[in-house]
Amino acid sequence: MKAVNTLAALAALTFSSLTFASPVNINTANAEQIAEALNGIGIVKAQAIVDYRTSNGLFSSPDQVIMVRGIGDSTFEKNKADILIK
């Protein structure tokens, strides 16, 4: 019984610490909204997305987000279904 309780506690901890991305328009969202919506994107990287957009214009495709310093292929891959541009 103790093993079952330990396993249940471990499962609860694992699932409670998981965050799930939610769709966000990187052409209109502010840094806080981007950071909240995407996995592996904190406020600093989210602000870099906003700054890039301000300097270079709107993103024309979701994969352009990898042009932002600090956003790599792996971050894009885990969020690509949730990055909107329209």
* Structure confidence at residue 45 as a pLDDT band (50, 70, 90): very high
Asked: is 21-84 a CATH 2.40.420.20 domain? The reply is no
Q: Over range 19-39, report the average pLDDT.
A: 93
Q: List the chain domain ranges.
A: 21-84
> Global pTM?
0.77
Give the pLDDT of residue 44: 98
Give the pLDDT of residue 63: 97
On the 0-12 / 13-18 / 19+ scale of CB atoms within 10 A, 67 is exposed
> Over pLDDT 70: what percentage of the chain?
77
